[in-house]
Chain A
Amino acid sequence: MKHIISALVENKPGVLAHVAGMFAARAFNIDSLAVGRTEDPDLSRMTIVVVGDDRVVEQVRKQLAKIIPVVKVQDFVDQPVVARDLMLIVISAAPEKRAEILSLIDVFKGKVVDIGQKFVMVEVSGPEAKIDAFINMCRPYGIKSVARTGTIAMPRQFKAEDNEA
């Protein structure tokens, strides 16, 4: 099962190496890892997606918490979360296909961020499944390159609020 684990870490050199090294040394599989600053300049947040049974993920959580510069660890399983990926994708776009591609981008609420004679670069964000679906839809046109952030996530704050997830 897929778990989204969020770790608040001290913004110190070596922390990422420590976390990555721990995952490698203990043979845990990282699906994705996203790191970024928070509102507090001393803290960063790592969002790590791991796949494993409950025992494995329990160990992941405990081993992460054991790393000294890791301040807080949360596993978002069993709670409603907003989870998002951001992707930049370059698609081959011959002039005769362009209209078709643009309407596809529209369906996925993507944004054209660069365009040339034979390509478009598109920015898409959303749940991982949506990103995967967009990639699949683009395959027939030819994908030149893809860059993805990996998932970032937050638990839902208001139970009533509902934006498509």
Chain B
Amino acid sequence: MCPKLRSTDSSAKSILKPGAQIVVDTLIEQGVETMFGYLGGVVLPLFDKLYDAPINFIIPRHEQGGCHMADGYARASGKVGVVVATSGPGACNLVTGLATAMMDSVPLVAITGQVRTDLIGNDAFQEADTTGITRPVTKYNCIVKDVKDLARTIREAFYIASTGRPGPVLVDIPVDIELEKCSSDGSKEMNLPGYKVQTKGHARQISMAAKAINESECPVLYVGGGVVISDASEELRKFALKANLPVTMTLLGLGCYDQSRAESLDMLGMHGSAYANYAVQECDLLIAVGARFDDRVTGNVKTFAPKAKIVHIDIDPASISKNVRADIPVVGDAKIILSELVKEVEHRDRKEWFKKIAEWKKKYPFRYDNNSTTIKPQYVIEEICRQTNGDAIVTTGVGQNQMWTAQFYKFKRARQFISSGGLGTMGYGLPAAIGAQIAMPGQVVVDIDGDHSFNMTMTELSTAVEHKLPIKVCILNNGFMGMVRQWQELFYNKRYSKSYLANPDYATVARAMGAAGITVEKKADVAKAVKAMLAEKMPCVVDFKVEREENVWPIVPAGKSIHEMNGLDILESLA
């Protein structure tokens, strides 16, 4: 599939330009306004051309941070994120960021410098086999060894990154190719004979899905990040309402269905709601849309949704029947398929089913001890949600902070919740918040983070200060790798082996870096601190000293079925 591409200047045919200029011109042609990246010897020609380019360039303190920023930028805006790094160590530092984006299907284009073509393979200074190292963590990568291929390759990178199931694409460019001159036109046409994207669903499969839905007594709609990526929230809403279906979301699906509605079952899976998990285990039809039956969702896959027929709608054929066999597969774009499907579904009452669901919802809502005198992390999140009217863009670290945010912040719209789901990358929260704030300057961006997660990338606070970004960082500081500690408590006899370390005074760190810093030790001060934080114009770090040994409930222990949750008794006792 090779669509015609915009080409900016057809008059430039005969002008000779160095590769670096071709890169910059092609980026601008692709609509790049903002990019992230770090310097080094072999990307100097490129940075020289960026000197005069109308591109907002953000330098992180570490390439991993830069990659997460591009990722947060992409997730918040729906545009392609762009990151640049030098050869060797620079490229290696991108790996975690690329893998994070790969797992969560985030469109990124990474451009790395490489040593001179004639040195490749000689263990040259700062040489690394970048395409070899990043092949498994990118949707596609390649090295450009002829300047004539440069413009086309970069266009292909944007096209591949942003279409089908999106993902990161890396283009490795040796420094001599950046310097070599070429007529800017090069070859314009993309040449991707092996890349075909099926967006329109098969009509017969759609009809079969509709028939199954119309016949179902107790269906569940299970939606994931694919709905966010395909911008299909509105189609999802219409479809769910017309067919009268309860809706549960994966971690990455949060936001694509209004959680204040009765038919919302919130998140499912390991730390999902009991009502979502019970509904999935009881349903006779599971309609998966843009979700991939991850093991954190399915628990023991052999006993997942045991009574259900499975409809699976996804743009990635390889996701279908990978973990759970689909009875009715539909390959295509969620937005297009849902708008077809909605025409064929009928309204059914399903009174009994919704009654059962309402009972589960009433019995096992997410709860915590809100009479506690200590600061409960869940209370902090509820307060942030209240004061931001549930409207903020929220990023997270990984661990308990992430799960509590998923449980207690009630999201309203897609692209509002930005979190590393598939890879679970600690340290993602702060740089992702920076990227999101740059993409959405008018919006409130809050990073709800863990202390240990924050430790991993907190150096990026100076990036936020440099660019005067009003991001809010709320550290749920339990002094532990909380999620690890929880597993040690539950499954390793409370032997807290190495799951804590000495943290700095975060407010002082923040101030030293030029940000605002607030420490909160008393429950009574939480609301005030959140208010002060929201009023801040500069980056603001709030160190909430929360209850140290709070647990996330419910939890499906590894290997169990998702109805076998621990902690339901605790939730009930808190009623």
Which A residues form the contact surface with B (CB < 8 A)?
9-10, 12-14, 17-18, 21-22, 25, 55, 58-59, 62-63, 65-72
- Interface contact B135-A62, CB-CB below 8 Å: no
Contact of B194 among A13, A25, A59, A71 (CB under 8 A): A71
Task: Known A10-B194, A63-B318, A66-B318; judge A55-B325 contact (CB<8 A).
Answer: yes
Query: Given the known A-B contacts A17-B132, A17-B135, A21-B136, are A71 and B318 also in contact in the complex, defined by CB atoms under 8 Å?
Result: no
Chain B residues near A21 (CB, 8 Å)?
135-136
A14 adjacent to B194 (CB under 8 Å): no
CB within 8 Å of A: which of B115-164? Answer: 131-132, 135-136, 139-143, 160
A17 cross-chain contacts in B, Cβ below 8 A? 132, 135
Residue of B nearest to A68 (CB): B140
Do B321 and A55 have beta carbons less than 8 Å apart? yes
Contact A69 B194 (CB under 8 A): yes
A59 to B318, alpha carbons, bound, how many Å? 6
A/B interface sample: 18 pairs, CB < 8 A: A12-B142, A14-B141, A17-B135, A18-B135, A21-B136, A22-B136, A25-B136, A55-B321, A55-B325, A62-B317, A65-B318, A66-B317, A66-B318, A67-B194, A68-B139, A68-B140, A68-B194, A71-B194
Binary A-proximity of B297-336 (CB < 8 A = 1, otherwise 0): 0000000000000000000111001100100000000000
Q: Is the C-beta of B491 less than 8 angstroms from some C-beta in chain A?
A: no
Bound-state CA distance A87–B194 (Å) is 32
Chain A residues contacting B132 (CB-CB under 8 Å) are 17
Closest A residue to B317 by CB, please name it.
A62
> Which residues of B are at the interface with A, using a C-beta cutoff of 8 A?
131-132, 135-136, 139-143, 160, 192-195, 316-318, 321-322, 325
CB distance from B221 to the nearest CB of A (A): 24
Chain B residues touching A, majority SS: mixed
Cβ-neighbour of A68 out of B143, B192, B318 (below 8 A)? B192
Is A62 a contact partner of B194 (Cβ separation < 8 A)? no
In contact, B160 and A62 (Cβ under 8 angstroms): no
* A58 in complex: contacting residue of B140, B142, B194, B321, CB < 8 Å: B321
Docked CA distance A151–B401 (Å): 53
A21 vs B131: C-alpha distance in the bound complex, in angstroms?
12
- The distance in angstroms between the C-alpha atoms of A13 and B149, with both chains bound, is 14
- Alpha-carbon gap, A66 to B164, bound state (A): 11
Q: Complex: how many Å from CA A18 to CA B188?
A: 26
The total of Cβ contacts below 8 Å across the A-B interface reads 43
Smallest distance from the beta carbon of A68 to chain B beta carbons, Å?
4
Q: Are B193 and A71 in contact (CB-based, < 8 A)?
A: yes
Q: With contacts A14-B142, A63-B318, A65-B317 known, what are 7 further pairs, Cβ within 8 A?
A: A14-B135, A18-B135, A21-B136, A25-B136, A55-B321, A68-B194, A71-B194
CB–CB B318/A62 < 8 A: yes
Q: How far is the CB of A147 from chain B (nearest CB, A)?
A: 27
Q: Specify the chain A residue showing the minimal Cβ separation from B194.
A: A71
With A and B bound together, what is the CA distance between A25 and B138 in angstroms?
Answer: 13
Contacts of B140 in A (CB 8 A): 68
Check A10/B321 contact, CB under 8 A, given A17-B132, A25-B136, A68-B140.
no
- What's the Cα separation between A9 and B195 when bound, in Å? 11
Question: Smallest CB–CB gap between B98 and chain A, Å?
Answer: 15
Cβ contacts under 8 Å, B160 to chain A? 68
The minimal Cβ–Cβ distance linking B123 to chain A, given in whole angstroms, is 19
Bound CA span A97–B322, Å: 55
Q: Which residue, of B139, B141, B195, has the highest number of chain A Cβ atoms within 10 A?
A: B195
Which among B131, B317, B318 has the greatest number of chain A C-beta atoms within 10 A? B318
Pick from A14, A25, A66, A69: contact of B316, CB under 8 Å: A66
In the complex, chain A residues whose CB is within 8 Å of the CB of B194: 9-10, 67-72
- Nearest CB on A from B143, distance (A): 8
A46 to chain B, nearest CB (A): 12
Chain A: CB-nearest residue to B322:
A59
Closest 6 interchain pairs by CB?
A62-B318, A71-B194, A68-B140, A71-B193, A70-B194, A66-B318
Residues of B within 8 A of A67 (CB): 194
Which chain A positions have C-beta within 8 A of B192?
A: 68
Residue of B nearest to A58 (CB): B321
CA distance A63 to B322 in the complex (A): 10
**Cα separation A72 to B195 with both chains bound (whole Å):** 10
B322: chain A residues within 8 A (beta carbon): 59, 62
A61 to chain B, nearest CB (A): 9
Least distance between A97 CB and chain B CB atoms (Å): 48
Most buried by A among B143, B160, B317: B317
> How far, in Å, is B162 (CB) from chain A's closest CB?
14
Q: A14-B131, A14-B135, A21-B136 are in contact. Are A68 and B321 (CB under 8 A)?
A: no
**Most chain B CB atoms below 10 A, which of A18, A58, A66:** A66
> Of A9, A14, A21, which is in contact with the most chain B CB atoms at under 10 Å from its CB?
A14
Which single member of A22, A58, A63, A68 contacts B195 (CB below 8 Å)?
A68
Which residue of the partner chain A has the closest CB to B160? A68
Q: Which residues of the partner chain A approach B141 to less than 8 Å between Cβ atoms?
A: 14
Give bound CA distance, A14 to B132, whole Å. 8
Q: Report the minimal beta-carbon distance from B168 to chain A, rounded to whole angstroms.
A: 13
In whole angstroms, what is the CA distance A17 to B131 when docked? 10
Shortest distance between the CB of A15 and any CB in chain B (Å): 9
Provide the residues of chain B in CB contact with A62, threshold 8 Å.
317-318, 322
> When chains A and B are docked, how far (Å) is the Cα of A65 from the Cα of B135?
16
Report how far A70 CA is from B194 CA in the complex, Å. 5
Distance (whole angstroms) from the CB of A90 to the closest CB of chain B: 33
* Residues of A contacting B139 in the complex (Cβ-Cβ under 8 angstroms): 68
Chain A: CB-nearest residue to B318: A62
- The answer for the CA separation of A72 and B136 in the assembled complex, in Å, is 20
Contacts of A71 in B (CB 8 A): 193-194
Residues of B within 8 A of A9 (CB): 194
A51 to B192, CA, bound (A): 30
